[in-house]
Structure 1
Amino acid sequence: MSSRRVLWLGAALDDAGQRTDTRIEVDPADLTTHGVIVGMTGSGKTGLGVVLLEEALLQRIPVLVIDPKGDMGNLLLNFPELRPDDFRPWIDTAGADSDADTVAAQTADTWRSGLESWGIDAARMRALKDAADLTIYTPGSTSGTPINVLGALDASTDADAEARADEIEAFVSGVLTLIDRPVDPVAGREHILLSNLVARAWEANEPIDLAGLVAQVANPPIRKLGVFDLDTFFPADQRMKLAVQLNSLLASPAFATWLQGAPLDIGRMLYTAEGKPRGAIVTLAHLSDAERQFVVTLLLSKLVSWMRRQPGTSDLRALVYMDEVFGFAPPTAEPPSKKPILTILKQARAHGVGLVLSTQNPVDLDYKAMSNAGTWMIGRLQTERDRDRIVEGMRAAAGDTDLGALATAIGGLGKRQFLLHTARGGRPQTFTTRWAMSYLRGPLTRVEIERLMRDRSAPAASAAETTSATAAQHDRSDVAAAGASRAAPAAARAEEHDDATVVAPAPPSSIPVRYLDPAAPWAAQVGARAGGRRMQAAVAARVHLRFDDRAAGIDHTETWECIWYPLSPHMRAQDAIAVDYDDRDLRTEPPPDAVYVVPDGKIRDAAFYRTLERDLNDWLYRERSMEVLRNEALKLYSRVGEDEAAFLERCRAAADEQADA
């Protein structure tokens, strides 16, 4: 091994295309100006990517690998002893003329011969194995190490305002992509609303997760956006449609795996607690295109925030590798992932973070991305048009290089042959890649990933991140009065039951919403408990009863109040619980971290309240009465609140007065 800090990629080719003894090495610092690997299918670019990552790990440079195709897990197939039994579980015997044991022995011999031809021995392979901890992350799946991508809603405590804004934009863009909504951070009302809700929670240091965000979409804790009131900017019925779409993510059984695993923390993915480098391989092969966009956007936005917190350096602090950039930074579209990719290409150099993008088709990559790359590794291309685009994209990085000669050299490349051009200038070099120490098995299935990761420990989350709130399990039900309850501030860490949700059931806009104060004198009648968070819907009524009898001289109004609890689909007026409440008993804000029991009553339906009101009026008309005492001889009637003794005394006084007259 060379004593210099270099990345050994292979050997130079002579003019006849034959391998020479001249080693092709890249200074790791050159990759802080980023790199591009381009080559058609079968050109050997995946093998070159594996070799590049092996070299970075040998130099104890942590790597973050975004793996859309599933090939990069091959980095874990490092067998220093080169025993056939090591290869046996990973070989594909389909269509082979020999049995599995024979194929395994042949594969081991092939790998041994290939490595020996490059002077690579078992000691170097062990050094690679010991250099870094490797982990395959599988967001949305438990086959590898699951990762809680939605932990990205936790604010980065030491991020600056710009980094926070970028993280919010990335999260919202990714979520909107998942539900097939327009992604427009400037003019899209969905994006603006969600971004404002997350920003508000972060500024107030309130915990928030996707469930809490859904709750706030339905009834946001903000009154206006820009100069318009909220309902003008984004009407309530349209907000509810957005909330329903977001809720479909939470309701999907497959979504549960997105909430498992350690939170998305770039620092822990790249380094152990002791400072040992890690290799984090985030495989996306099992995900849909929208899910891939979501993960890549969040992952790279978190990387940008982490990167900006690092002190400046001219050395390569960390290497990010995207094995196939197709669809993530196209020239004619603006997917959510494009912004963080371009941000890294423009800003990461000062922080010692390098990004290498690999693609089989140069038209898949935006010109701005191509022009920001200082290191180019170009393999066989499919068409002259591809070659011309590469040459055009290299114009800024090529300096005084003869672009015509460059095009000719690219046209003559064979398999596993590449043309290298670096930001240091000089004549581009053609080279062939060295033999990879990792067995290039090809894409790994989820079953194979599970087998690989079974005995490996994943980066652990801190205690604060793995402890769930459990207090809600032991709370009795609280009661929400006056129909239902509006969305609480994000009940992000509240533990839900099967019958509860963080989204408050919404009554019609004409029905006021209040929350029972457990200190109300009558709270015990409905089972309320101080400190509880499980809110259960109830209906409160206040009726003004008028008793009018001209003959008796009575025109009296009294107030009658009641609560219906619990609610049911077929409630009767006589089921109401008569209570004596005043406005102090009913609060306008829910308790912190409230969750809401899904009601049986049809509280969203205005007809539910109209029917209840009509039935209550009819029942009170029939059942409520006022007793009035009458003295026909004296033509006297008792007064409101006057008991019989007082009325008789008044009658005697009236009789005496008439007798004296």
Structure 2
Amino acid sequence: MSNTEKFIQHLADGQVFKKDFIILGTGILDGNPVTGAQVKVPLKTLNRHGLIAGATGTGKTKTLQVIAEQLSLKGIPSVLMDLKGDLSGLAMPGTANDFILKRSETIGVDYEPMGLPVELMSISNEKGVKLKATVSEFGPVLISQILELNDTQRGVVALVFRYCDLHHLPLLDLNDFKRVLQFVTNEGKEEIEKEFGQVSSASINTIMRKIIELEQQGADRFFGELSFEVDDFVRTKEGKGVVSIIRLTDIQNKPKLFSTFMLSLLSEIYETFPEQGDADQPKLCLFIDEAHLVFSNASKDLLEKIEAIIKLIRSKGVGVYFCTQTPTDVPESVLGQLGLKVQHALRAFTAKDRKAITKTAENYPDSPFYDTAEVLTSMGIGEALITALNEKGIPTPLARTLVRAPITRMDILSDSEIDAVVRASSLVPKYNQDIDRDSAFEMLERKMMKVQKEQEKVELPGPAPRTSKRTPKEESFIEELSKNTMVRQMGRTLFRELARGILGSFSGKRR
């Protein structure tokens, strides 16, 4: 038996699947693609998460595109976090040429260009379905982790949420949250101390600064109504899974907002989806491009939360896939949970790079056909080392793979094409509407106005006779009271008008 035949048999023995699978490419031996050595991944283990890694320009994004395409064709929906803006092409068919047709023939698959059902989404100013969530839905624990608060400050946040629950004050957006914090140390200080004890002004001020920092990254647009229902991610159209592309190109320099959104999404999916058990295919796959932004800027508590969800969410039939430059961008506790590993080429320009490559090679199964560390630096664009889990949870043989070409467009959509996709959306009318209902901000404002009017009646029971004259002290009190009331009302009106005009509506649904 020749070495090539041994190679084909080696891959075939490790990829005996009873259930359905997707084909990612064909194996490469001695630098040449081998027909008949297809590299397959079973659908049954795609909820075991995965990693797509490699240096810039080696084809990571196209591999992500291929996997999302093949999932869609199998009726499996996916969510793609698109930070570079180059995944929208999934909505349009690709273009066949001699190179692609020959590549497909070598791999042993047909090449049929087609567009897939795509839903464009956004948490910022990008066009598409607006994804939002309310502060109440996050809860005190998650909000505290996002704001990186200490134990004392977390206690204050828990107090705020408890007070709002008891007094039916909906916390929908960050303005509601800030207004209640102001109330705790100002107008409502006496009431709060009677009910909960003394609250430190220093803690309140720190929390306020943290919220403002989050606002500066654009979180004020994310918190509000109408809250997105994660079940809308799990849709099919004409038998194909809908690909939901969350366009994040304008928040690349806002890692706090990105990690906040990602964690809220994972938490909501985990809490909402029912247990799926040992199913033949995943319910949903989530792809996180530029995943280093999640981990490099997250606090210890936030990392622990992410790691816990990653470990548990697969039982809900959800697979999470991280796309980044090196496996070391992902914490080891998360890396150990990843079943599918797609490693594109790495570049060794420095001694540090070479050490990283050696460490990366140790993350993959040994192969009788490759020196993994050597292959990592010699692969071309569109090639990758791939290993997955078979249906018994055992890693499949490591294969240097010629990855198949995407059947959708390998380029971005034009503005007019994006507009067409957005117009065709059934979710835009549902979520892209301005809702401004009463919440904690408005309720506390009315409460304070009522208190002020009652104080006026107590202090000034009736009009004084024309002949009487007020003392200088009384004149000063009335003038100050009138001035404070007018300034507060003018300030509130001006603030809300500016907020609506510049940042959009601040409102939200509380579940």
TM-score, with length taken from structure 1: 0.57
- The CA distance in 1 between the partners of 2:324 and 2:283, in whole Å, is 24
Matched, 1:418 2:390: no
Matched, 1:306 2:306: no
Matched, 1:437 2:337: no
* TM-aligned CA deviation for residue 55 of structure 1: 0.7
* TM-aligned CA deviation for residue 54 of structure 1: 0.6
Matched, 1:59 2:74: yes
* TM-aligned CA deviation for residue 139 of structure 1: 0.9
The answer for the alignment partner of 1:322 in structure 2 is 288
- The CA distance in 2 between the partners of 1:456 and 1:271, in whole Å, is 15
**CA separation of 1:224 and 1:325: change in aligned 2, threshold 3 A:** farther
The answer for the alignment partner of 2:344 in structure 1 is 379
- The CA distance in 2 between the partners of 1:281 and 1:4, in whole Å, is 28
**CA separation of 1:468 and 1:317: change in aligned 2, threshold 3 A:** closer
Tell which has more relative contact order, 1 or 2 (C-alpha 8 A, sep 6+). 2
1:539-594 deviation line (CA, Å, top 9, x unaligned): 52656xxxxxxxxxxxxxxxx73599xxxxx99849979xxxxxxxxxxxxxxxxx
| Residues 83-98 of structure 1 mapped to structure 2, 5 A cutoff | none
- The CA distance in 2 between the partners of 1:303 and 1:38, in whole Å, is 25
| Residues 526-565 of structure 1 mapped to structure 2, 5 A cutoff | 539-540=455-456, 542=458, 561-562=461-462
The counterpart of 2:425, out of the listed 435, 453, 457, is: 457
1:493-543 deviation line (CA, Å, top 9, x unaligned): xxxxxxxx555499xxxxxx7946xxxxxxxxxxxxxxxxxxx76752656
The answer for the alignment partner of 1:170 in structure 2 is 142
Unaligned runs of 5+ in 1: 83-107, 156-163, 177-182, 473-489, 493-500, 507-512, 517-535, 544-559, 565-569, 578-596, 604-661
Task: Indicate if the aligned counterparts of 2:104 and 2:405 stay in contact, CA closer than 8 A.
Answer: no
**CA separation of 1:120 and 1:276: change in aligned 2, threshold 3 A:** closer
**CA separation of 1:428 and 1:602: change in aligned 2, threshold 3 A:** closer
* TM-aligned CA deviation for residue 13 of structure 1: 1.2
The counterpart of 2:160, out of the listed 192, 197, 208, is: 197
What is the alpha-carbon root mean square deviation over aligned residues?
4.5
* TM-aligned CA deviation for residue 419 of structure 1: 1.3
- The CA distance in 2 between the partners of 1:365 and 1:272, in whole Å, is 31
Q: Which has the larger radius of gyration?
A: 1
1:583-641 deviation line (CA, Å, top 9, x unaligned): xxxxxxxxxxxxxx9932579xxxxxxxxxxxxxxxxxxxxxxxxxxxxxxxxxxxxxx
**CA separation of 1:49 and 1:247: change in aligned 2, threshold 3 A:** closer
The answer for the alignment partner of 2:129 in structure 1 is 145
SS of the residue 1:310 aligns to: coil
- The CA distance in 2 between the partners of 1:425 and 1:407, in whole Å, is 19
- The CA distance in 1 between the partners of 2:395 and 2:418, in whole Å, is 44
Task: Indicate if the aligned counterparts of 2:93 and 2:408 stay in contact, CA closer than 8 A.
Answer: yes
**CA separation of 1:32 and 1:7: change in aligned 2, threshold 3 A:** same
Task: Indicate if the aligned counterparts of 1:562 and 1:576 stay in contact, CA closer than 8 A.
Answer: no
The answer for the alignment partner of 1:218 in structure 2 is 182
Unaligned runs of 5+ in 2: 1-16, 349-353, 465-471, 490-511
**CA separation of 1:272 and 1:563: change in aligned 2, threshold 3 A:** farther
* TM-aligned CA deviation for residue 360 of structure 1: 0.9
The answer for the alignment partner of 1:180 in structure 2 is none
- The CA distance in 2 between the partners of 1:197 and 1:71, in whole Å, is 42
- The CA distance in 1 between the partners of 2:285 and 2:143, in whole Å, is 23
Amino acid aligned to 1:207: P
**CA separation of 1:245 and 1:355: change in aligned 2, threshold 3 A:** closer
Amino acid aligned to 1:267: D
The answer for the alignment partner of 1:353 in structure 2 is 318
Task: Indicate if the aligned counterparts of 1:140 and 1:257 stay in contact, CA closer than 8 A.
Answer: yes
Matched, 1:35 2:50: yes
- The CA distance in 1 between the partners of 2:104 and 2:152, in whole Å, is 61
- The CA distance in 2 between the partners of 1:334 and 1:491, in whole Å, is 29
Task: Indicate if the aligned counterparts of 2:255 and 2:294 stay in contact, CA closer than 8 A.
Answer: no
- The CA distance in 2 between the partners of 1:260 and 1:200, in whole Å, is 20
* TM-aligned CA deviation for residue 426 of structure 1: 4.6
Aligned length: 444
**CA separation of 1:572 and 1:134: change in aligned 2, threshold 3 A:** farther
TM-score, with length taken from structure 2: 0.72
SS of the residue 1:268 aligns to: helix
* TM-aligned CA deviation for residue 168 of structure 1: 4.4
The counterpart of 1:271, out of the listed 235, 249, 259, is: 235
- Among all aligned residue pairs of Structure 1 and Structure 2, give the percentage whose two residues are the same amino acid: 16
* TM-aligned CA deviation for residue 367 of structure 1: 1.1
- The CA distance in 2 between the partners of 1:411 and 1:453, in whole Å, is 40
**CA separation of 1:505 and 1:338: change in aligned 2, threshold 3 A:** same
SS of the residue 1:23 aligns to: strand
- The CA distance in 1 between the partners of 2:19 and 2:268, in whole Å, is 32
* TM-aligned CA deviation for residue 111 of structure 1: 7.6
Task: Indicate if the aligned counterparts of 1:321 and 1:357 stay in contact, CA closer than 8 A.
Answer: yes
